[in-house]
Amino acid sequence: MTGATATGTTAGGAAGAGNAADPSVPVTGLVNRIDWEPGSDLLRGTCHCGARRTCDGPVEMWAWLLAHPRGHGNDDLDG
């Protein structure tokens, strides 16, 4: 069971593979994103509107993202 040969996709095709390209999957474009900043405990949230915020817990971050646009006033808007 050794020396298996890999086939198929390249590494660059890994993220979002599969259904992401499937036209049957509804995509609204309203995507909220939370990145855990490497080397820290901080979370960086990006609202679908582009507003960003950093905090240290997912409960607080989701509450802020879902409150859109409430609470966005004091944050740095991105684009």
Partner 1 sequence: MATAFARNQWYVTAYAGEVGRDLLGRTVLGEPIVLYRTEEDGSVVALSDRCVHRRFPLSASRLDGDRIVCGYHGFTYDTSGACVYVPGQQRIPRTARVTAYPVAEIDSLVWVWIGDPQLADEKLIPRAPHLADPEMVSVRGMEPIDCDYGLLVDNLLDLSHETYLHGGYIGTPEVAETPISTEVDEAAGVVRVSRHMMDAACPPFYSRSTGIEGRITRLQDIEYFAPCLYLLHSRIMPVGRTEPVFRTEITYAITPAGPGKVYDFWAVSRDFAREDDEVTKFLHDFNHTVVMQDVDALNLLQKALDGEPAGYQELSINIDTGGLAARRILARLAAA
Q: Which residues contact partner 1 (rule: CB under 8 A)?
A: 1-12, 14-20, 22, 24-38, 41, 43, 57-59, 61-62, 66
CB of 60 to partner 1, least distance (A): 10
**Beta carbon nearer to partner 1, 13 or 77:** 13
Among the listed residues 44, 59, 53, 56, the one whose alpha carbon sits nearest the alpha carbon of residue 71: 53
CB of 47 to partner 1, least distance (A): 11
At 14, which amino acid appears? A
How far is Cα 14 from Cα 38, in angstroms, rounded to an integer?
Answer: 20
